[in-house]
Amino acid sequence: MASLLTRRLQFSCLHRFLRSFNLNCGNVTRCASLDSALSAFRSICGEGRVSLGEAVREQHGKDESLHRCCPPDVVLFPGCVEEVSALAQVCHRHGLPIIPFGTGTGLEGGVSAVKGGVCFSLRNMDQVLDLHQEDFDVTVEPGVTRKALNSYLRDTGLWFPVDPGADASLCGMAATSASGTNAVRYGTMRENVLNLEVVLADGSVLHTAGKGRRPRKTSAGYNLTNLFVGSEGTLGIITKTTLRLYGVPEAVVSAVCSFPSIQEAVDSTVQVLQAGVPIARIEFLDDVMIDACNRFSRLSYPVMPTLFLEFHGSEQSLKEQVNTTEEITQSNRGSDFQWAQEAETRERLWKARHDAWYAALALRPGCKAYSTDVCVPLSRLPQILVETKEDLIENRLTGPIAGHVGDGNFHCLVVVDPSDPEELHRVHLFTERLARRALAMDGTCTGEHGVGLGKRALLREEMGATAIQVMQGLKDVLDPDNVMNPGKVLQPREI
Amino acid sequence: MASLLTRRLQFSCLHRFLRSFNLNCGNVTRCASLDSALSAFRSICGEGRVSLGEAVREQHGKDESLHRCCPPDVVLFPGCVEEVSALAQVCHRHGLPIIPFGTGTGLEGGVSAVKGGVCFSLRNMDQVLDLHQEDFDVTVEPGVTRKALNSYLRDTGLWFPVDPGADASLCGMAATSASGTNAVRYGTMRENVLNLEVVLADGSVLHTAGKGRRPRKTSAGYNLTNLFVGSEGTLGIITKTTLRLYGVPEAVVSAVCSFPSIQEAVDSTVQVLQAGVPIARIEFLDDVMIDACNRFSRLSYPVMPTLFLEFHGSEQSLKEQVNTTEEITQSNRGSDFQWAQEAETRERLWKARHDAWYAALALRPGCKAYSTDVCVPLSRLPQILVETKEDLIENRLTGPIAGHVGDGNFHCLVVVDPSDPEELHRVHLFTERLARRALAMDGTCTGEHGVGLGKRALLREEMGATAIQVMQGLKDVLDPDNVMNPGKVLQPREI
């Protein structure tokens, strides 16, 4: 069985190789060495942790995006950094692509094995390693998800706030520079990663801030930590991350407020921030989105532009935060707050927000969703939201909008029939127009999902030729053979 | 006159070249081309903005540290990015080192022209370019200092909080990853720079987040912004920085509290942070430091371990922050708070804190000061502070201690007679022991001053060989000829 699969693997590798290079030399030696690579993998992490099964490979070739599944040739399940390093050395010797895999909850095709190769599934490395309560930091392995970490922290009075919705792995969140609903208060992964352990393309092990170091700030040399945060597996495999933690707030309260117009919802957001209210979450849902959430989560909010808000603090400070915010929303013709004070009610509210994806899908059963991810300066939000809604209507697309408006970041959850090429094309054109609209407003095509496969051309437009050359130069230094998650972030060079 | 200086310049260049390479070939061509470089400089920015004067060169070869003055061969005063780019191209063609210069307030010899070359003084590029009040961001040229920006913002209700004490240029602060007294609340330059314009070694102009872009968050490709923040001029010349701004707090109050021991002062700090008090400043001064400040600033605080505190917020929230903090300090045997509520009294208090450097110097008139800069996890602070004070006493050194304890960062302001080589040697050994003590406690040798000249060997110990190799690789990509502020951050390679 294994040898049959090995032959298939060799054939698939050969086929891809011929196709990508359009010539037929050199590849035989490379593919012939796969047998020896497989045998080396097995001797490093054991037979049971090297999978050639089709179902396993399929499962690891796809994330939650619309990007097509490109299964890797083999999936490895290493158990420790030493194994990851040894396995990477084998890949390096054999020139095999490496694709790191956390939970597969990405949204830009980051785990797609577009050039085949070896998927490193890190789910077995799932230990919380070092918790320093007094220092507000913790180190975790890549199999630890954000929910698992917060469960682990339950009795410590501490928590890790970055929350992209999905129960993603924390190292995966570092790799994609994730953020989510409460970045407005606690920052993104960029601000919350203190140190990373990374296995580089040649198998060497890098500690981006020095081994075991965890000062809250540093000026020691180039900031390697933030070079790897957001590098989407293209510079190395993150095998440990040291994170900042926060004290669990004494009190939490959530509220919902509806507005007659988008402008008034966004104006409220800007004014709340200007007033210095340390708001923990301020989420915008447009009328289409709130309608979808009402249906999916059995809620009954008015079908109008809406803000979901959350306040963290002491009882006393909550009162003041809420008063200031309510004054501002009312001066912008917002409704009275609908409260969610009990943990259960709050959880229901935020579950509804996090279920927006499924609520959008439920609008058109059998369809798939693609989430756009632009981010613009706050003052440009009303204009881009209005123009985007007009664009959706003009182009007969279903695309409820939800956004982290405190950061200027919003998502259009475009629901599309994947079997309809014409509609897919319309979606594609829409997402490009939306991204260019954001670029024209000093914004970015991706606030938190990353570039992956889908935004490589847009990245070039956004950054300009010099920045892309610099990025390519950094990639070449760290991964001269282009084996680390090839084809992501940067476009393949012309040959 | 000019030709005489040019000849001297050629000689100095020749001499250095021979000394550093210990051979006598190749340099004649290089130095012979200086005349043509000078003429190109003059044609780009005009005769008056190319200075060969000894006093000007001396002034630009030194910062506020103990590192010896290494004057550049020539100082340029460009007026715009186009001139910086054209001048850099000339340097590139002639292989001349480039040393960017802001205000010269650095503390690690960053502007010292150790290989001679061309100083780019950026003081004439002093415009605040784009203020977006609703978006809480501003773009400034490199001649704008933090005080100048805050004056400019006076009537807008906004301010830029990062405050290293000195009135440094904001681009210089980005270059050294500066922070200071209120990083505990507002973060360091790493968290507050949104975009940089950088002239690279070959004169090309890079916008680290894309030209004119200013989203509050982004996942668009590698984080080039934070690669240049803290790069100390060794990767490029920062010619613009886009910064986050904050709303001016409605109310501000400062207080001073004395403690029977260092442990109790630090325990209070940890507990205040654990309680989630959004404290704006929490500064530690040891007994020696408070004594020096009392004398220098005519104050009369008890000569004991002391915290200087500052709270920002609404009137209501201040009350609560102060109550919580006072409960904590009293449970740790802290004194009653001595208040500074009026702007004038507060300014006097923080001026005394910022004058700590001069207060330390005044302890031994005629001496110079060197500031150490270690940063450790909070829980390790009491031990490292106690051991460091013992070390100072054992080694007969004067070194008052002041620290940003909310971040685990403290400075020992060692006052030394620069004409006494034996004492200088003792200081050197002390600073190395202190740095290694911090490294042994998971900390860093530099929390905010940078590596510059003095900490290159310690950086290697702190980061490990792989990280240094990666840093060197990044340097080689961006500056293949090693002309950007050579000799800083990374040690010269063996030839």
Q: Give which of A206, A218, A312 to mutate to test B binding, by max B Cβ within 10 Å.
A: A218
The rounded radius of gyration (Å) of the Cα atoms in chain B is 23
Minimal Cα–Cα distance from A392 to chain B, Å?
Answer: 23
Q: CB of A209 within 8 Å of any CB in chain B?
A: yes
More confident residue, A492 or B32: A492
Compute the count of residue pairs across chains A and B with CB atoms less than 8 Å apart. 300
Of A211, A320, A463, the CB nearest to B317: A320
Residue-level pLDDT at B23: 30
Average pLDDT over residues A224-236: 98
Vertex B397 angle, CA B394 and B399, to 5° = 115
| Residue numbers in A near B456 (CB within 8 A) | none
**Shortest CA distance from B218: residue in chain A:** A447
Contact B210, A464 (CB under 8 A): yes
Residues B428 and B415: their CA atoms lie apart, in Å, by 12
Q: CB of B327 within 8 Å of any CB in chain A?
A: no
* ipTM rounded to 2 decimals: 0.92
Residue-level pLDDT at A274: 84
**Shortest CA distance from B205: residue in chain A:** A466
pLDDT more than 70, % of chain A: 93
Residues 254-273 of B with CB under 8 A from A: 270, 273
Minimal Cα–Cα distance from A455 to chain B, Å?
Answer: 9
- With an 8 Å Cβ cutoff, are B474 and A222 in contact? yes
A24 pLDDT more than 70: no
Partners of A251 in beta bridges: A313
Minimal Cα–Cα distance from B428 to chain A, Å?
Answer: 19
In this prediction, the residues of chain B whose per-residue pLDDT falls under 70 are 1-33, 494-495
Residues 17-76 of B with CB under 8 A from A: none
| Residue numbers in A near B244 (CB within 8 A) | none
Q: 10 Å Cβ neighbour count for A343?
A: 9
Indicate the angle between helix axes A465-478 and B465-478, nearest 10 degrees.
Answer: 150
Q: CB of B480 within 8 Å of any CB in chain A?
A: no
From the centroid of its chain, how far is CA A150? 18
Minimal Cα–Cα distance from A274 to chain B, Å?
Answer: 6
How would DSSP label each residue in B380-448?
GHHHHHHHHHHHHHHTT-B--EEEEGGGTEEEEEEEE-TT-HHHHHHHHHHHHHHHHHHHHTT-BS-SS
- With an 8 Å Cβ cutoff, are A221 and B473 in contact? no
Question: By mean pLDDT, which of A321-335, A434-448, A473-487, B332-346 is the weakest?
Answer: B332-346
Complete domains list, chain A, with CATH: 1-247+464-495 (3.30.465.10), 251-357 (3.30.70.2190), 364-440 (3.30.70.2740)
- With an 8 Å Cβ cutoff, are A221 and B463 in contact? yes
Positions of E strands within A259-305: 281-285
Residue-level pLDDT at B229: 98
Q: CB of B245 within 8 Å of any CB in chain A?
A: no
- With an 8 Å Cβ cutoff, are A378 and B135 in contact? yes
Q: Are strands B246-247 and B205-207 parallel, antiparallel or unpaired?
A: unpaired
- With an 8 Å Cβ cutoff, are A215 and B136 in contact? no
| Residue numbers in A near B217 (CB within 8 A) | 179, 183, 188, 190, 375, 407-409, 447-448
Q: CB of B106 within 8 Å of any CB in chain A?
A: no
- With an 8 Å Cβ cutoff, are B316 and A316 in contact? yes
Residues A279 and A308: their CA atoms lie apart, in Å, by 11
- With an 8 Å Cβ cutoff, are B467 and A136 in contact? no
Residues A163 and A281: their CA atoms lie apart, in Å, by 11
pLDDT confidence band for A32 (50 / 70 / 90): low
Q: CB of A129 within 8 Å of any CB in chain B?
A: no
Mean pLDDT of chain A: 91
B351-378 tens-digit pLDDT: 888 899 999 999 999 999 999 999 999 9
- With an 8 Å Cβ cutoff, are A473 and B473 in contact? no
Positions of E strands within B277-407: 281-285, 306-313, 338-340, 368-371, 401-404
A150-187 tens-digit pLDDT: 999 999 999 999 999 999 999 999 999 999 999 999 99
pLDDT confidence band for A1 (50 / 70 / 90): very low
- With an 8 Å Cβ cutoff, are B467 and A208 in contact? yes
pLDDT confidence band for A23 (50 / 70 / 90): very low
**Distance from first CA to last CA of chain B, Å, rounded?**
37
Residue-level pLDDT at B30: 42
Q: Give which of A217, A378, A476 to mutate to test B binding, by max B Cβ within 10 Å.
A: A217
Minimal Cα–Cα distance from A240 to chain B, Å?
Answer: 15
Positions of E strands within A200-335: 205-207, 237-244, 246-247, 251-258, 281-285, 306-313
- With an 8 Å Cβ cutoff, are B220 and A445 in contact? yes
What's the residue count for chain B? 495
pLDDT more than 90, % of chain A: 85
- With an 8 Å Cβ cutoff, are B218 and A447 in contact? yes
- With an 8 Å Cβ cutoff, are B217 and A409 in contact? yes
**Shortest CA distance from A409: residue in chain B:** B217
A173-222 tens-digit pLDDT: 999 999 999 999 999 999 999 999 999 999 999 999 999 999 999 999 99
Average pLDDT over residues A99-108: 96
Q: Are strands A137-140 and A128-132 parallel, antiparallel or unpaired?
A: antiparallel
Q: CB of A156 within 8 Å of any CB in chain B?
A: no
pLDDT confidence band for A11 (50 / 70 / 90): very low
A53-86 tens-digit pLDDT: 999 999 999 999 888 899 999 999 999 999 999 9
- Comparing C-alpha atoms, which of A469, A180, A106, A427 is closest to residue B221? A469
